[in-house]
Each structure stands twice: as structure tokens, then as C-alpha cells.
Structure 1
Amino acid sequence: MITGADTDVALIVALGGPHARRLLADHPATDQRYWLRVWAARGLLWAWDDNGLDGVRMALRDPQWRVREMAAKVVARQLLGDLLPAVAKLRGDPVLRVHAAATRAVAMLTSAGA
């Protein structure tokens, strides 16, 4: 789901809540489907699996800033040291929220020695 692949509707609703129901009911245009990637990344904040590493790596380069921000938060929470170079690049992101999440992730990773 974090890579943009279709997934089970129940999972989408579990991750996105009431907003997911509305999004799915309206058959979203592709410009709104990024919310699925945001919700997938948010799910990885709480239920991590190492199989998600490549998806988070992709999400750090996503064209939508909300996806990049959430991916940086996942890197920080899960201490994904392998993604330090990728998240460090986001400290130069023009979106302040992405910049802040990336800066926090770099600080968490370096203080943890990851």
C-alpha cells in the first residue's frame, strides 16, 4: 500500500478511518490516492515489519509532501539507520513539516547510534 499498490478495502479503512470511507466512496482521482500511502506509512509507525523498509525508502522520495513527512516519522520511530542518508536529504525539503520531521529523524538516528 505504501508503494501505491491496491490493497484490501478493510485495511484501508482501518488505517484511514472515516476519511478513508469517504475517499473510497468518491472513487478518488489519482491526485487524492496519495492518502493511501500516507495511511500506510502511519500504520508502520505502530506495526513495523522489516518488509516495509523498501516502501519507506520509496516514500521518502514521494512527490507528495505528506507522504515524505510520514515516512520521516517512521524512520525516527523505528530507528531505521539504513535510511539515514535518504532522510538526511529531506532536511533540505522546501516544506517545513517535512524538513522538521527529517531533522528529528536524523537526530534520533544519530543519538541512537543507528
Structure 2
Amino acid sequence: MLQVGATRLALALPSRNSVVLDHGRSQFSPGRWTTQGDINRLTLSKRIIDEVTRMIVAAKPSLDTDRGRVIVDVDDRNDLVEMSYALKWDFAFAGALSGNAQMRHLGVT
């Protein structure tokens, strides 16, 4: 069995946007796993999503394919809107997925 204990992982983009993942625990064994953790604040915006997409494609150009898209509005006034969320999860798998996940909207700027 592989076990990973509590740790904190901070990720920062070149634009200085960042997120901190608080990993509680994970356990892995053949055919079974559990994981628990939370993110106190995850901020998303069109600009942040575009930045992450460009980084992924730069790291692996084969991912730059037309994966489809959803066009909600041609109005670009929302391009600078940032939405923030808190996330918490506690999942297990032993032949079937179980557990729970919570997502809380923190606000819009």
C-alpha cells in the first residue's frame, strides 16, 4: 500500500495567479484508493483559463487540437470577471466510487 500524508502544494502561474491545495491524505493499493483534501480559494476567469491552456499546449503541442467549445456570448465585458470557489473532497474507490465533494461560491470580482 502506498500512503501520502498531509501536505500543502502551492501552484503559481507566470501572471502571479496562484492556488494552494491542502492535501489531507491519500492511500493507494491494487484496485482501491482514497483521497481527501481541500482548496480554500480557486479563482477562475477567461484570462486564467487561457493562460493555463497556452501553458499546456506549449508543454505538449499535440494537445492543440479542436476539442470543441461552448460559445456563451460574444460580449467581451465578462473577460475580466473572476469567480472564486472553495473546494473540499473525500473520495474512495473500491470497485465503485464513493465519498463526497463540496464546492462553495465565494464571490465575483
Q: TM-score range by the shorter chain?
A: under 0.3
Using structure 2 for the length normalisation, give the TM-score.
Answer: 0.27
* Greater share of helix: 1
- Structure of higher CA gyration radius: 2
Structure with greater strand percent: 2
The structure showing larger relative contact order (alpha-carbon pairs under 8 Å, at least 6 residues apart) is 2
- Report the TM-score when normalising by structure 1: 0.26
